[in-house]
Amino acid sequence: MKKIIEFFGGNVVKDVLSGLDGLFTSKEEQIKAENVIKKILAEKELELQKMQTEIIVTEAKGNWIQRSWRPVLMLAFGFIVIYVKFIGPLFNLRIPELEMEFWELLKIGIGGYVVGRSAEKISKNITINKK
């Protein structure tokens, strides 16, 4: 999510706006076009955030599995890391090699878990305020 926002919020906007320099002859036309593009991108970013919030709100209202899959998955990741780094070496157990994909998945999981939990807590306030 963060990369998507950075992509649309930073690089794409700068590239599009710099491309406008050659399209318009007057500064006024260029500023007007820039404002329209910025407005459209801001609206689309807001739509994306609303969709993500709706997903999390729906998940938070669901059954135990829907509410608990992130914590269960992160506990499993945590156990794997603890086993590989501490338990395995301590007791001379076979230690599997964790590929880079595992660590990338763990980074994504932690990021999603933190954002998801924050949104889950916020969603309770949103649903209370709607009633």
pLDDT > 70? residue 5: no
What distance in Å separates the CA atoms of residue 109 and residue 116, rounded to the nearest whole number? 10
Q: Which amino acid is at 1?
A: M
The pLDDT of residue 126 is above 90: no
Q: What is the DSSP letter of 117?
A: H
Residue 119 and residue 89 share a domain: yes
CA distances from 39 to 12, 23, 28, 52 (A): 14, 19, 17, 20
The answer on 131 and 82 residing in a single domain is yes
pLDDT at 4 over 80: no
Provide the CA 66 distance to its chain's centre, in angstroms. Answer: 18
Assess whether 44 and 73 both reside in one domain: no
**Is residue 76's pLDDT more than 90?**
yes
Whole-model pTM above 0.85? no
Question: Do 45 and 94 share a domain, yes or no?
Answer: no
Domain that holds residue 115: 62-131
Say how many domains are in the chain.
Answer: 2
Would residue 43 count as lying in a domain?
yes
13-52 confidence digits (pLDDT tens): 677 667 766 676 788 888 888 888 888 888 888 888 888 8
Q: Are 72 and 130 in the same domain? A: yes
Q: Are 39 and 66 contained in the same domain?
A: no
Write down the residue that tokens 């689309």 correspond to.
44
